Structure 1
Amino acid sequence: PVLALTLAMTIWSPLPMPAAHSDLNLGILFILAISSLMVYTILGSGWASNSKYALIGALRAVAQTISYEVTLALIILTTVFTAGGFTLSTFHNAQQTMCLILPFWPMAMMWFVSSLAETNRAPFDLTEGESELVSGFNVEYAGGPFALFFLAEYANILMINTLSTIIFLGSPIPPALFTSILIIKASTLSLLVL
């Protein structure tokens, strides 16, 4: 659970802020790499709970996460070709004249569906198995570890919505207002997802 929250907090580091301390050259690849490591926390927590139901739930979660990460990576790759770079600030520069959601409308819809599946939101919440009595890989966790898992899950939801805002909903705004507008857009998108 601690590793899941640590990875969920680390994934926020390449975000383009006005006074960014870490504007990574390969920010998109860093985000994809860290989100791929989340699979190990799910599998490890399902195995460590020493329950066959938790292990089966972890295997379902890993299969779903890996399969939808491939589509997210391919969609990001097409937008990277258009933006011209792997840094997240190049998306801001590429959208000075027009938001990328307009020419990439089908990609944006596929991104939205894949991000719902990646974050285990309905109707892709197969990992929790609400029709069953078992709650997936976190069935044996309670209290602090359970809270850490769900803090990590909601941090990932906020991150993927912020990334969606940066990639598809950018706009020509002055740097002083960039953070405020980004937070408003990502919060609105998060309210739609939750």
Structure 2
Amino acid sequence: MEFIDAYVIPGAILFAQMLSILLPLLIAIAYLTFFERKVIGAIQLRKGPSLVGPFGLFQPFADVLKLMSKETIIPSGANKIIFILAPIITFILSLVSWAVIPFDEGIVLANINVGVLYLLAISSLNVYGVIISGWASNSKYAFLGALRSTAQMISYEISIGLVIISVLLCVGSMNLTEIVEAQKTVWFIIPMLPMFLIFFISALAETNRAPFDLPEGESELVAGYFVEYSSIGFAFFFIGEYANMILMSAMTSILFLGGWLPPLNIFPFKWIPNLLWFVIKVSLVLFVFLWVRATFPRYRYDQLMRLGWKVFLPLSMLWVVITASIKIMFFD
């Protein structure tokens, strides 16, 4: 009996910890769609969702019920098994990344020393869900959208990786908690403002958000790689995209905005809980995601690739060299 308890009790605790992250995340994804429509509505001088529940607050749940009640349609020429697996892969990968995200000091599911490497590995796997869905659909438009998205994600992952390397050179660790604690004196957004801008713009491209939503171009691809999906399959892709938006906002907060650390150690700020500071920073970055969507027109694909390869890549490589040189000359 003691042998069974040695495995069951830690497993139950781990499961409870996982639920404490996943349930708030799924609720946050639901209400992010609500606030996106509210923010864009306000920018365009209209109401946005306002009919379902008080102030339209039940709109996300109505959307979920509508999606769940739709018929799942699998194209006759599709590879059925892979077609079903693709959105599941995307959905699962969008959730497992949160295992290493620290919400506060000591509040993290897995405080591993290679947290940054883990996130880069998971983000590189996201390409598989996209390319599999485009190929398995047996549709030229879905396949073109998948190729676009894959090329886009791979191109901007390089810039994101080089920006993260610059941060790691300053900290000397790949542990995300230690990256936050290294910003107690000054947040990295101040000395590394150009890298912050490159990281944020690359995050827009990595998550296929406007103005880089080329894989979903309505005028030529009619929703891109998930054009053939409906019901729960479409919902999984939808959840995956918004979960990745929140993840990239959390990464921006951890790498450049001090994570859960308050801006100044003065009376009005230090009494606010650290977890609340983290939520505020992630929410502010998410607001900029939505603001950008309502403001900027879509890039052409050649402009998107030129920006990634001819502007961001040289700049981020140069910054890595400068950061390493300064560290060697003055701090080693």
TM-score after normalising by structure 2: 0.56
Aligned to 2:100: 14
Change (3 A) 1:26 1:131: same
Deviation at 1:133, TM superposition (A): 5.1
1:168-179 correspondence to structure 2 within 5 Å: 168-170=256-258, 172-173=261-262, 177-179=273-275
Are 2:262 and 1:166 aligned?
A: no
Where do 5+ consecutive residues of structure 1 fail to align?
none
Provide the aligned length of Structure 1 versus Structure 2.
Answer: 193
- Aligned counterparts of 1:38 and 1:138: Cα–Cα separation in 2: 14
Deviation at 1:117, TM superposition (A): 0.7
Aligned to 1:137: 225
Asked if 1 retains the 8 angstrom alpha-carbon contact of 2:180 and 2:258, the reply is yes
1:99-178 correspondence to structure 2 within 5 Å: 99-132=187-220, 134-170=222-258, 172-173=261-262, 177-178=273-274
TM-score after normalising by structure 1: 0.95
Pick from 164, 167, 172 the counterpart of residue 79 of structure 1.
167
Q: 1:87-138: CA deviations, max 9, x gaps? A: 1011111101001000001111111111111111111111111222521101
Would you tell me which structure has more helix in proportion to its own residues? 2
Identity of aligned residues (%): 45
Is the deviation greater in 14-23 or in 47-56?
Answer: 14-23
- Aligned counterparts of 1:121 and 1:133: Cα–Cα separation in 2: 15
Greater relative contact order (CA < 8 Å, ≥ 6 in sequence): 1
- Aligned counterparts of 1:193 and 1:153: Cα–Cα separation in 2: 12
Asked if 1 retains the 8 angstrom alpha-carbon contact of 2:142 and 2:226, the reply is yes
- Aligned counterparts of 1:169 and 1:102: Cα–Cα separation in 2: 9
Runs of 4+ in 1 over 3 A off after TM superposition: 171-174
Q: State the structure with more CA Rg.
A: 2
Task: Output the aligned Cα RMSD.
Answer: 1.4
- Aligned counterparts of 1:133 and 1:19: Cα–Cα separation in 2: 42
- Aligned counterparts of 2:210 and 2:230: Cα–Cα separation in 1: 23
Where do 5+ consecutive residues of structure 2 fail to align?
1-86, 263-269, 291-332
